């Protein structure tokens, strides 16, 4: 059983409709494929969340019959189902696409309690400029239009998630006096990226990490030369071209790390380091 077949069968298994003869092959694949297992867990947790938080509304019989007739007469125009979050909430995914869940203790992460006292960023459309991705992702988080799907209870479990499940060398800064909100992994044009979200009082700190080798080898994501040069020269480089925003860029081992928030540079440094 391949990945496409397993992804097609996830909803059937969660609805209790999967044929018993298929289940062994289904779960055998999940035990070997971290990404399919992540997708399964994401849909499973989402279904639990929805069943506990959304009230069922019954459709009038005439409308229900009309819908059934329409479904019966239409043919499927797609071979692979969209993720359950897209189908139900119709929310935009991360602009750096293909968010993958972890394998254990994951929960749905919805930022309904974030402050809305943020200035709207006016950034160029998503392209291969990594800095644009950082600004746009941050803007989407605080504007509650881009919602991280996966949260972890603590940084330690997130580190295990990256190291064991994803095999990505993520760096989780000390983030003194900050509350850890979530972590996830995604890909943009085959370039893997780690995402971390923290909160201090009402201030959100978003961190994006990518390996230098990925930037060099794939060239589908890039960093402006001046920023990369400064990051290599300094322990930490701040780009303050946008008023009221602090964008920190630094190198950590094999990673290029970017952090953005609306606090001042010195306070951000105090969060990112032990000094």
What does the pLDDT read at residue 259? 95
**HEC profile of 135-162:** HHHHHHHHCCCCCCCEECCCHHHHHHHH
Question: How confident is residue 95, by pLDDT bands cut at 50, 70 and 90?
Answer: very low
72-81, 215-224, 236-245, 257-266: which range is least confident on average? 72-81
What does the pLDDT read at residue 123? 53
174-206 tens-digit pLDDT = 898 898 888 888 887 778 889 999 988 888 999
Cα–Cα distance list, 129 to 44, 53, 192, 228 (Å): 34, 38, 15, 12
Largest Cα span, the chain = 69
110-129 tens-digit pLDDT = 333 333 344 555 555 456 88
Which residue is associated with the tokens 């992804």? 7
Which residues, in sequence order, are CB contacts of 79 under 8 Å at separation 6+? 4, 8
Residue 171: phi and psi, rounded to 5, are: -115, 120
Q: Where are the alpha helices (DSSP H) in 54-109?
A: 61-73, 84-89
**Average pLDDT estimate for 23-46:** 82
Q: Which burial class, exposed, middle or buried, applies to 275 when counting CB atoms under 10 A from its CB (0-12, 13-18, 19+)? A: exposed
What does the pLDDT read at residue 174? 86
What does the pLDDT read at residue 34? 79
Question: How confident is residue 50, by pLDDT bands cut at 50, 70 and 90?
Answer: low
What does the pLDDT read at residue 92? 40
> Which range in 2-6, 35-39, 245-249 is most confidently predicted, on average pLDDT?
245-249
> Which range in 136-140, 193-197, 221-225 is most confidently predicted, on average pLDDT?
193-197
Residue 200 DSSP SS3: strand
Residue 65: pLDDT over 80: no
What does the pLDDT read at residue 256? 94
> Which range in 90-94, 167-171, 222-226 is most confidently predicted, on average pLDDT?
167-171
**Average pLDDT estimate for 162-183:** 86
- Dist. CA 46–CA 107, nearest whole Å: 8
- Dist. CA 158–CA 174, nearest whole Å: 13
């Amino acid at each position: 059983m391949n990945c496409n077949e397993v992804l097609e069968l996830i909803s059937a298994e969660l609805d209790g409709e999967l044929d018993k003869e298929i289940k062994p092959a289904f779960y055998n694949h999940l035990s070997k494929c971290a990404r399919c297992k992540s997708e399964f867990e994401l849909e499973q947790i989402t279904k639990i969340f929805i069943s506990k938080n959304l009230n069922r509304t019954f459709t009038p019989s005439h409308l229900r019959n009309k819908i059934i007739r329409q479904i019966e007469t239409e043919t499927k125009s797609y071979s692979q189902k969209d993720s359950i979050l897209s189908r139900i909430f119709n929310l935009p995914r991360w602009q750096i696409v293909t968010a993958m869940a972890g394998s254990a203790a994951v929960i749905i992460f919805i930022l309904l309690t974030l402050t809305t006292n943020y200035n709207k960023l006016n950034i160029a459309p998503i392209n291969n400029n990594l800095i644009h991705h950082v600004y746009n992702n941050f803007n989407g988080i605080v504007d509650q239009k881009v919602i991280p799907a996966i949260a972890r209870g603590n940084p330690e479990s997130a580190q295990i998630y990256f190291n064991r499940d994803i095999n990505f060398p993520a760096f989780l800064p000390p983030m003194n006096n900050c509350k850890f909100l979530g972590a996830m992994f995604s890909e943009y044009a085959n370039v893997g990226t780690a995402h971390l979200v923290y909160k201090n009082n009402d201030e959100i700190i978003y961190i994006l990490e990518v390996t230098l080798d990925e930037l060099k080898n794939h060239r589908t994501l890039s960093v402006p030369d001046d920023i990369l040069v400064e990051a290599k020269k300094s322990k930490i480089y701040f780009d303050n071209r946008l008023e009221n925003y602090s964008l920190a860029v630094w190198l950590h081992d094999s990673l290029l790390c970017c952090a953005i928030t609306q606090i001042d540079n010195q306070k951000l440094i105090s969060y990112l380091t032990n000094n």
